[in-house]
Amino acid sequence: MEIPTIVIPPIEPIKTVEIPLPTAEVPSYVPLVVPPSDLREPEGTKPITTTEAPATPTLNLPALPPIPIPPTDVLITTSVAAVTAVAATTVTQPIIQKIKEQIQKFLNNKIKTWKEKFLKKKKKVS
């Protein structure tokens, strides 16, 4: 009696794609120096005294409580924004009005022709 055998073909190498290893530049920075929490002034020095910040200007009206006046940079920003908004509205209002009138005229003509066609059709059916 003969023992069965299996013939295995030779192994072919599988081709693979070579992927290069990733590289990166590691960021570097200058370290930040933080003073210690128990920092004290050197011996023999005197602390500098500062004056308090001036009080914000207020507008006093007899019937109202004092109204604080905002700083100049805030006033300039709000004034420019308000003037721009008013100018844009003033310039665009006539243009929008003209477009509105043209659209209304166009739609009214369409409605009028539709109504006429509808009435003619209704008369023919009757």
126, pLDDT greater than 70: no
Within 10 A of 120 (CB to CB), how many other CB atoms are there?
10
Give pLDDT tens digits for 71-99: 888 999 999 999 999 999 999 999 999 99
Alpha-carbon span 103 to 28, nearest angstrom: 63
Give the model's confidence band at 112: pLDDT under 50 very low, under 70 low, under 90 confident, else very high.
very high
pLDDT of amino acid 102: 96
For the chain, give the mean pLDDT. 89
The beta-strand segments (E) located in the chain are 58-59, 67-68
The whole-model pTM stands at 0.38
Q: Cα–Cα–Cα angle for 82, 85, 89, nearest 5°?
A: 140
Percent share of the chain, pLDDT over 70: 99
